[in-house]
């Protein structure tokens, strides 16, 4: 009996029904009908195929994960590098250590982190983290490193470089935008000062027009008095008009000064 599996629709498709009908007409048994039905079954959509199994993983005690439901296997071997190639310049590394004391896991060989500073101090000694199981705290491990890996693998480093570049580009754009905002705020301030200046000028001109209108009305009133006065009074009224016009003639040349004297 074959151990192969195949995903088929919950309800038979027309192709499955046709295959089974053909075998029945041939007089073949149920088993042959089943084989032909499975052969005629359409392939499942890719998304459905991927979600067939809700994996339940177990491990082999090393790096191999196996799904207890469908048998799928995933190898998570970190591929430790030979210690002969490990840098000894003080760089912090991931280490696989054969522990004599203070193993980081419940095994003699376990991962940890550490470094060798031989290039800087001439002492060829590996120092790495261990775990005190008696008091539950980190301590210096005792043992022999048998493999090493960089703290960040190449793919993660590439991704970090990409994210860093995107961050720097975004920061540059924000800086440019901030400068533009400062320039616009400065321009708004300048326009507000111009607006206030124009408003003051317009109010001053309006005040001057009001003063001119008062002078004109006063002169017209005096002129009417000259016209309506008796002959004896016309000379006095005419003299008053001349004096008034003389005193306020400066307003025509210096309206602002005249406006101030008028307010006083």
pLDDT tens digits for range 14-37:
888 888 888 888 888 888 888 888
Strand bridging mode 64-67 / 73-75:
antiparallel
125 CB contacts (<8 Å, ≥6 apart)?
116, 118
Is 204 in the same domain as 121? no
Query: Among 127, 151, 175, where does a domain finish?
Result: 151
Is 182 in the same domain as 240? yes
Quickly list DSSP for 39-105. HHSPPPPHHHHHTS----EEE-SSSEEEETTT--EEE----PBPGGG---SS--EEEEEEEEE--SS
Q: Is the pLDDT at 263 greater than 50, yes or no?
A: no
- Give pLDDT, residue 230: 57
Q: How far apart are CA 129 and CA 235, in angstroms?
A: 120
Asked if residue 53 lies in contact with residue 72, where contact means CB atoms within 8 angstroms, the answer is yes
138 CB contacts (<8 Å, ≥6 apart)?
129, 130, 131, 132
Higher-confidence residue of 238 and 104: namely: 104
Split at pLDDT 50, 70, 90, the class of 97 is very high
In a domain, 190, yes or no: yes
pLDDT digits 0-9 by tens, 178-193: 888 888 888 888 888 8
In a domain, 174, yes or no: yes
Is 113 in the same domain as 165? no
Domain span at 144: 83-151
Q: How far apart are CA 88 and CA 26, in angstroms?
A: 77
- Give pLDDT, residue 96: 95
Query: Among 103, 133, 151, where does a domain finish?
Result: 151
Split at pLDDT 50, 70, 90, the class of 148 is very high
Share of the chain above pLDDT 90, in %: 25
Q: Name residue, tokens 């101090």.
A: 121
At how many degrees (to 10) do helices 231-247 and 154-228 cross? Answer: 160
Q: Is the pLDDT at 117 greater than 80, yes or no?
A: yes
Token representation of residue 204: 């001053």
139 CB contacts (<8 Å, ≥6 apart)?
102, 129, 130, 131, 132
Query: Among 97, 122, 151, where does a domain finish?
Result: 151
149 CB contacts (<8 Å, ≥6 apart)?
78, 79, 80, 81, 93, 94
Q: The pTM is what?
A: 0.40
> Considering only CA atoms, which of 49, 18, 52, 50 is closest in space to residue 36?
18
Is 178 in the same domain as 249? yes
What number of CA atoms fall less than 13 Å from residue 214's CA on the CB side?
13
Number of domains in the chain: 2
Is 190 in the same domain as 255? yes
- Give pLDDT, residue 54: 79
Token representation of residue 212: 């001119």
Is 144 in the same domain as 167? no
Is 197 in the same domain as 215? yes
Q: Name residue, tokens 């317009």.
A: 202
In a domain, 69, yes or no: no
């Amino acid at each position: 009996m074959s151990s192969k599996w195949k995903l088929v629709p919950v309800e038979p498709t027309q192709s499955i029904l046709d295959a089974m009908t053909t075998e029945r007409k041939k007089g073949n048994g149920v088993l042959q009908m089943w084989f032909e039905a499975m052969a005629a079954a359409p392939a499942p959509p890719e998304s459905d195929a991927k979600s067939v199994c809700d994996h339940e993983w177990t491990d082999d005690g090393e790096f191999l994960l196996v799904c207890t439901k469908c048998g799928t296997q995933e190898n998570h071997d970190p591929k430790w590098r030979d210690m002969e190639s490990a840098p000894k310049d003080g760089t912090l590394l991931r280490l696989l250590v054969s522990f004599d004391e203070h193993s980081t896991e419940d095994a003699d060989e376990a991962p940890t982190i550490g470094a060798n500073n031989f290039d800087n101090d001439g002492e060829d000694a590996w120092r790495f983290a261990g775990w005190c199981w008696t008091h539950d705290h980190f301590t210096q491990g005792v043992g022999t490193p048998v493999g090493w890996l960089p703290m960040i693998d190449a793919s993660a480093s590439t991704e970090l470089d990409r994210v860093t570049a995107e961050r720097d580009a975004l920061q540059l754009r924000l800086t440019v935008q901030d400068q533009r905002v400062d320039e616009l705020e400065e321009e708004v301030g300048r326009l507000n000062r111009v607006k206030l200046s124009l408003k003051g000028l317009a109010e001053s001109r309006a005040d001057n027009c009001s003063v001119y209108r008062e002078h004109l009305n006063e002169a017209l009133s005096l002129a009417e008095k000259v016209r309506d006065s008796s002959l004896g009074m016309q000379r006095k009224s005419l003299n008053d008009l001349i004096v008034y016009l003389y005193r306020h003639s400066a307003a025509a040349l210096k309206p602002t000064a005249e406006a101030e004297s008028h307010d006083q």
